A = this chain, B = another copy of it.
Amino acid sequence: MKQIQGGVCAAKGFTANGVHCGIRKNKTKRDLALVYSEKIATAASVYTKNLVKGAPLTVTKNNIADGKAQAIICNSGNANTCNANGIEIAEQTCELLAKELGIAANNVVVASTGVIGQPLDITPIASGIPALVKGLGEHSDFACEGIMTTDTRKKEIAFEFTVGGKTCRIGGIAKGSGMIHPNMATMLVFVTTDCAISAQMLQKALSKDVEDSFNMVSVDGDTSTNDMVTVLANGAAGNAEIMTENEEYAAFCEALSSVTTYLCRMIAGDGEGATKLLECKVCGAKDTATAKIVAKSVICSSLFKAAMFGADANWGRVLCAIGYSGADVDVQKVGVCFRSGKGSIVVCENGAGVPFSEEKAKEILLESEIEVLIALGDGDGKATAWGCDLTYDYVKINGDYRT
């Protein structure tokens, strides 16, 4: 597998664009994004589990029920959620885009991110669509910018891989900076590939992948009303369509995982106000489920996150988060180690502290990417979770966002 340029336009037959249409007041910020496939692609999607769901998710779910899609349109600045006419607006968006592209309206994936509960006006979208379509090209970065809210960095990646002797490409863009903020936020991920794969296998691959990728990311523990991950596969690479769980399927899953894992790390590291990416790797759990519970509990602990902001090797907070996680763990066996580019340091063994150099620990924890390694000594279960530190800026960003 090889990392390549191009984001969602790396795969053959995909183009993209992003424009400022006027949903946001800042005229220099693109707020409407488009990803387009020359031919109809197979489509798979996963959605937020929040009971409060954005209207675009409902419309998308209907549109791709047949496993097919040809375009993705997404606005930022307004989540189109908890609005009386949300469904109507989302459907109108699909129709307007479909007309401009000359495709079927039910082949459009629609998404929104931004403020909840404020009616979304169709006018700027309607007026922006012609330029959006006209400018279609190798503009993954424009699309990427169009879906950003509080994100400080573009999140874009692509890889080349081989399936059945054919070179395939897969690439993605993402936004997400708090796991969610019903105001300006939500996690959105759009992935494109030219690998040929049936809609059923694509959905299977995606559903399995998110369990180990996006479901293991937490910025603030809140789950958005508009979270959504969508993959389009248009088969332009010319490989024989993947129809079963064979070797080719495994190769595709590996490529998909490379894209999603990269984007997970980007999302966590760009958490609102974050100064550090935290990666919690648990091993020795009695099973995978236990490892996941432990990894997520640690990565979600406000106390642990604040300690990491302060580069404080406060392993007691790790133990504590393991203890209240609800996982079946023998706390007398737990070992904890911090690691970064500056080295690693063991701080806890058999559930109790071990002498360590506070200076060395500080040096390790001052880095911008920190690994927390937890050994449970109880089996072969492993899991990784991603998060970020809790900082003054998180409070600032979220303390007064709407006004």
Which residues of A pack against B, CB within 8 Å?
A: 49-53, 79, 81-84, 115-118, 178, 180-183, 220-225, 300-303, 306-307, 309-317, 319-324, 329, 331, 348, 351-353, 358, 390-392, 394-403
Contact = CB atoms under 8 A, between A and B. Distances in A.
A82 B401 contact: no
14 contacts: A51-B331, A84-B352, A116-B320, A117-B315, A117-B352, A183-B316, A222-B302, A222-B324, A223-B320, A225-B319, A306-B395, A310-B398, A312-B403, A392-B395
A116 B51 contact: no
A50 B222 contact: no
Contacts of A53: 323
A181 B309 CA distance: 15
Given A51-B324, A394-B306, A222 B301 contact: yes
Given A51-B322, A181-B303, A399 B117 contact: no
A322 B52 contact: yes
B182 A316 contact: yes
Given A221-B221, A314-B183, A394-B306, A353 B118 contact: yes
Contacts of A181: 303, 317
How many copies altogether?
Answer: 2
Q: In terms of DSSP, what is the predominant structure of the interface of chain A?
A: loop
A224 B84 CA distance: 44
Contact of A320 (B50, B300, B301): B50
Contacts of A399: 306-307, 309-310, 312
A172 to B, nearest CB: 24
Nearest to A403: B312
Contacts of A223: 320, 323-324
Contacts of A81: 316
Contacts of A180: 303, 320
A115 B395 contact: no
B302 A398 contact: yes
Contacts of A314: 182-183, 401-402
Given A49-B324, A331-B52, A303 B82 contact: no
A78 to B, nearest CB: 11
A173 B285 CA distance: 40
A328 to B, nearest CB: 9
Given A52-B351, A222-B320, A313-B402, 8 more contacts: A50-B320, A52-B320, A82-B319, A183-B314, A221-B221, A222-B317, A310-B398, A312-B400
Contacts of A82: 316, 319, 348, 351-353
A6 to B, nearest CB: 34
A165 to B, nearest CB: 45
A316 B51 CA distance: 13
Contact of A323 (B51, B323, B324, B358): B51
Given A221-B221, A352-B84, A319 B403 contact: no
Chain B CB within 10 Å — which of A82, A312, A351 has the most? A82
Nearest to A300: B221
Contact of A321 (B222, B316, B390): B222
A118 B352 CA distance: 9
Contacts of A322: 51-52
A392 B400 contact: no
Instruction: Kindly list the 4 A-B residue pairs having the minimum CB-CB distance in the complex, ordered from nearest.
Output: A116-B316, A310-B399, A182-B316, A52-B323
A222 to B, nearest CB: 5
Contacts of A52: 319-320, 322-323, 331, 351
A398 B222 contact: no
Chain B CB within 10 Å — which of A52, A309, A394 has the most? A52
